[in-house]
C-alpha cells in the first residue's frame, strides 16, 4: 500500500525516513510546469524527473531512500509511486493534492496554476 500524505503531513512522514539517507521529494511534473511553480527543499532532497523520463532515469533513484512523489494535483505522482513500489522501492508516498495543495497548506508563495 502506498502512503497517501497531505503536504501538511510531509514533515512527519519525512521523520519516518531512514536515518542513514536523505529523504527525497520527487517532482514528476514536466519542464513547462516547473517554470510555473516549484517547492523549496526543506529537510529533503528535491529531485525533478518528469514522469515521461522516469523509466530512462530510474537509476538516479535509490530504492532504499524514502521518496515522496509530487505533481500538480496528485494523479501522476500516484502512478509514479505505484511504479516505484512495483520496482522494489520500499518507502514511497504520494503527496495528495500535489503542488496545488502545497501552496494552500505549506507555502502560499508557491503559485497555483
Give the residue numbers annotated as catalytic, written as ranges: 71
35: Cβ–Cβ under 8 A, 6 or more apart, which residues? none
The DSSP code sequence of 35-85 is HH--PPPSSSEEEE--GGGHHHHGGGS-TTS-EEEE-SSSHHHHHHHHHHH
C-alpha Rg value of the chain to the nearest Å: 13
Closest to 103 measured CA to CA, from 89, 93, 113:
113
Cell triple for 106: 505549506
Amino acid at each position: 500500500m502506498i502512503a497517501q500524505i497531505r503536504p501538511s503531513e510531509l514533515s512527519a512522514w519525512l521523520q519516518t525516513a531512514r536515518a542513514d539517507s536523505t529523504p527525497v521529494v520527487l517532482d514528476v511534473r514536466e519542464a513547462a510546469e516547473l517554470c510555473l511553480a516549484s517547492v523549496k527543499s526543506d529537510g529533503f532532497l528535491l529531485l525533478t524527473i518528469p514522469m515521461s523520463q522516469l523509466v530512462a532515469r530510474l537509476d538516479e533513484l535509490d530504492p532504499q531512500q524514502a521518496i515522496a512523489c509530487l505533481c500538480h494535483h496528485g494523479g501522476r505522482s500516484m502512478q509514479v509511486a505505484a511504479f516505484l513500489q512495483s520496482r522494489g522501492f520500499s518507502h514511497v508516498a504520494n503527496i495528495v493534492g500535489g503542488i496545488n495543495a502545497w501552496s494552500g497548506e505549506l507555502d502560499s508563495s508557491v503559485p497555483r496554476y
